[in-house]
Structure formats: structure tokens, C-alpha cells
Amino acid sequence: MLILSEFDIQFVLPFTTPMVTVLHLHPSLEPRVRSGNALKVEQLVSADPADNVIVPTADYFDSFGNRCSRFVAPPGHLRLSGSNIIEAEPYPDPVYTQARQMAIEDLPSEVFQFLLPSRYCEVDRFGPIAQDLFGAVPEGWARATAIRDWVHDKVTFNYNAARSTKTAMDVFIERVGVCRDFQHLAISLSRCMNIPARYVTGYIGDIRMPYSGPGDFSAWYQVFLDGQWMDLDARHNYPRLGRVLMATGRDAADVAITTSFGAAPLTYFYVESNEVDETGNKLARPASSTAAATGTPPPANTPTQTNGSQFSPTQTQSATS
């Protein structure tokens, strides 16, 4: 199965602004990339594309192994764009019913950090709560999925409830949020039960599913069981097709799609991920009878996790769908 993912993100910058982005695919996907996976940064100076000025970038790998780009953006209209086609498994997320939870002393050293509190995952505040909810659930896959399903059942999805400062405890109290909020709460509860858990950002398009509205980068999480990382998703708590990994970290702060060291008002945001054929043509999705019947307009096509303040650094932490 071939998946085309593409993005177009635009800002209007009042001043020269250093920026960092996490917009490439994860390095582990390189063997499966058919084409693309480049970041194009342009200053838009007129309606004629020939007049656009390419902004030079430098790539590096962060402490989590994600591929990042840094550059100094000139003032004015800035555009970040790119696309890629990868060869993906034509199967939904695997289910590991026999996966065992490893003893703390047997965990690899590099995994320990994913048991600790982080910016949005206040593990130290959830100990008694997690024990009360999941202490009696058998260890391993059963406990990991019980946490996922509890969060899915208890938290309501609402774009309007999003804010860039919302933590896992906020989600637990308010019981409402967007995609990343579901994952932060599930990650926090998992870590409290000694299950290493990390935040993931990437693409999840409507692959072989009815159209659900304008696209966005998405979020899920991974748990470390039986010596490997396994995908879980507290927002979409069922096996999905077409997850395309971009970055992993302790929480959303580590994998913000853009971090700007200065004011960076967002003016345009487009993200899509679709199945394509060998010639690159998008395949038709199944019809959505519900959407056709209700005629309900989709949410605005802008990320709701953009930090509205103009203090440095400002992060666009999308992953809301």
C-alpha cells in the first residue's frame, strides 16, 4: 500500500525569526520512502512562484533520534511545504495480546526516561489514581489496553477545548480535549503503572475510510512491552491503517512541528495523507453517508495547539485530529 502525505504551513513573520521544525518522516521509515521527504522553506514575495526566495536549512537529529531542521526565517510571508510517498503495511495496527510487562531492572537504560514525569505528563500526581483504577488489572497488554480504553471512554473529544498549556491532570479533571490530550493522559497513567510510554506524532489519514474532514498531523502513543515499542491510541482505540511516523518524545513539547523563537502568526495550514496508486493518483475513499446526511461543516482547518502567546519560543503543536 502506498501513502502520499503532504503539508503546506504558512506564517507572516514581523521580524527575522530563528525556527526549528520536525516535519520530516522518522529516520526508521527511510527504507520505505518511495519519493519526497524534503522540507521546502520559502519566503513568498509575490504571486509569481518564480520570485519566491528559498531559505536555507540545516538538518540535525535530536536526543530522541528525530530528524529536525533549523533555519533563520526572514520577515514576511513564510511557507513550509513538503510531501512524501511511502510503502506502508496494508494491515491495521497489530494486536499483542500476549505481550508481557518487563521488570524495571530488565528495561534498557534508554527507556527509563519514558517512566518519568515530563512537561505535559505529571506522573508524580497520578500514582494513587492509577493504582486505584488499574492495580487489579493483569500486567502487560491487558493493563496497557485497559488504560487506553479507560481514557477513550472517559474523555470527550472537542476541538474547542484545546489549549497549548493543557496537561494530563487538566484532562483528567476536565474530561475533554483533543487528540494529544487523550495521549498525554494515557501516557501518564501507563508510566504510573511502570509501563514505559512515549508520545508519537505523524500522519493518520482517512485510509480506506470515509472522509472525516480537513486533515491535520495526528498523535498517538507507544508502550514498551516485551522489549519493543507498540502503537496504542487513546483517541482512536481500534486498529487503524496507514499510520506514518514522524517523531517520538516524552510528550508534545518534544515533537512540536514548529518552534519559533519570536512571534509567528499562523495564516494557512494544510495537511493530508491519502492512499495512492503506483502512478501517484489518490484512490477513492468509501462514501460517508453520515457526512452527506448531516451536512455538518468540519472544524476549521487550523491546528488548535498553536501557542497564541508571542513569547519565545512559540510552538505549533498540532496533532489534534
Q: Give pLDDT, residue 212.
A: 86
- Residue 289 CB neighbour total at 10 angstroms: 9
Q: Give pLDDT, residue 321.
A: 54
Q: Work out the mean pLDDT of the chain and round it to a whole number.
A: 91
Work out the percent of the chain whose per-residue pLDDT is above 70: 90
Q: Give pLDDT, residue 70.
A: 98
pLDDT digits (tens, 9 = 90+) for 226-235: 999 999 999 9
Q: Give pLDDT, residue 295.
A: 34
What is the pLDDT confidence band of residue 302, given thresholds at 50, 70 and 90? very low
Contacts of 296 (CB under 8 A, 6+ apart): none
pLDDT (average), residues 11-18: 97
Sign of the Cα pseudo-torsion (163, 167, 170, 172, in order) = positive
What is the residue extent of each domain of the chain? 2-89+255-316, 104-253
Work out the percent of the chain whose per-residue pLDDT is above 90: 85
CA-to-CA separations, 104 to 224, 232, 302, in angstroms, rounded: 11, 21, 41
* Element at 174 (helix H, strand E): helix 168-174
Question: Residue 240 and residue 212: Cα distance in Å, rounded?
Answer: 14
Q: Give pLDDT, residue 312.
A: 42
What is the pLDDT confidence band of residue 313, given thresholds at 50, 70 and 90? low
Predicted confidence (pLDDT) at residue 300 exceeds the cutoff of 50? no
DSSP 8-class letter at 29:
G
What is the pLDDT confidence band of residue 289, given thresholds at 50, 70 and 90? very low
Q: Give pLDDT, residue 315.
A: 72
Q: Which one, of 178, 196, 186, lies nearest residue 299 by Cα? A: 178
- Residue 89 CB neighbour total at 10 angstroms: 12
pLDDT (average), residues 43-70: 96
pLDDT digits (tens, 9 = 90+) for 68-86: 999 999 999 999 999 999 9
pLDDT digits (tens, 9 = 90+) for 232-276: 999 999 999 999 999 999 999 999 999 999 999 999 999 999 999
Predicted confidence (pLDDT) at residue 54 exceeds the cutoff of 50? yes
List the CATH code of the domain at 2-89+255-316: 2.60.40.2250
User: Helix %, strand %, coil % for the chain, to 5?
Assistant: 25, 30, 45
Predicted confidence (pLDDT) at residue 144 exceeds the cutoff of 80? yes
CATH fold for the domain made of 104-253: C8orf32 fold (3.10.620)
pLDDT digits (tens, 9 = 90+) for 205-216: 999 989 888 889
Q: Please give the distance of CA 12 from its chain centroid, rounded to a whole number.
A: 24
Q: Is 131 helix (H, G, I), strand (E, B) or coil?
A: helix
Question: Residue 86 and residue 276: Cα distance in Å, rounded?
Answer: 10
pLDDT digits (tens, 9 = 90+) for 161-176: 999 999 999 999 999 9
